[in-house]
Structure 1
Amino acid sequence: APSGTASNVVTYLARGDVALSVSVATVSTVLAPLITPPLTLLLAGEYLPVDAGAMVGDILKTVLLPVIAGVLVRLAAGRHVDRVLPAMPWLSSVAIAAIV
């Protein structure tokens, strides 16, 4: 349902509006637990119960924890991060492609 990190990386590589991409991804991720059940009913004709609490927990684990970890790494090793920063978008693209 919600867009993922890949769309933000591709937006960055295409020199698009990354702030807009992250904003849209954030809003769709936050709304997914509320919108998925009625949208499934509308499109598939069957209500799909979603455990909103579990979904929010998964969102926190997959979105919030990596962001916090990135901020901590940036604070702890800022000089080292600056050296590898130019390669990170391309490394992210390769990692996303490998996962897919």
Structure 2
Amino acid sequence: MTWTETHRRWQALREIEEQLGAEAHPTLPWNTELAAIFGDRDGLRAALRYRWRLAVSTQLDTHLPERVLEEQRRVLAERARGVLAVLDNGTDEELGTTHALA
């Protein structure tokens, strides 16, 4: 994958995350541009899941006190609620919780 393709892929993921976060009832977006980047819907879901796992592994410091860690988990999950909704219907296996998506 070239730098241009990588940049295009990450930019598309950022835009999708923003879109999903703004929707009351998030649904996985799909169009010909996304098909050209990700191949199929499963490829897009896999890329979103990868970004979510990357965010969890890099943004949660397990050495913090439990109450601080729980707050970090809550903030991270809230920020990603749209992505989680389209990936696992609100199930957050990485954090071990299920979130109500209002």
Instruction: Give TM-score, length-normalised by structure 1.
Output: 0.34
Instruction: Give TM-score, length-normalised by structure 2.
Output: 0.34
